[in-house]
Structure 1
């Protein structure tokens, strides 16, 4: 399964896009997200960790 076919990868990239779109129009950042940005960053972080774990497991 390639990255483009993976539902996890798709969700990870969607979360990344939501977070970066938000940050572009807001003064918050990862270290101090605003009330709206906090859940976006949390989701992005969780999915990024899941994707990295997926890659690590499939390299063995």
Structure 2
């Protein structure tokens, strides 16, 4: 069964990348509009949660 947190983190990454391709102020790594900032922040939170969980023993 796929890891739900991993799937959500990857989906958030794809959503931000798609946004950045269409939004001229945003770049692949730096959001420069309110929607881009919201999407990038969501991706970062999920990525942090996923990597922190991997670091825990006996996950």
Aligned length: 57
- Segments of 5+ residues of structure 2 without an aligned counterpart are none
Which of structure 1's runs of 4+ aligned residues deviate more than 4 A? none
Alignment RMSD: 2.1
Q: TM-score, normalised by structure 2?
A: 0.79
- Segments of 5+ residues of structure 1 without an aligned counterpart are none
Q: TM-score, normalised by structure 1?
A: 0.78
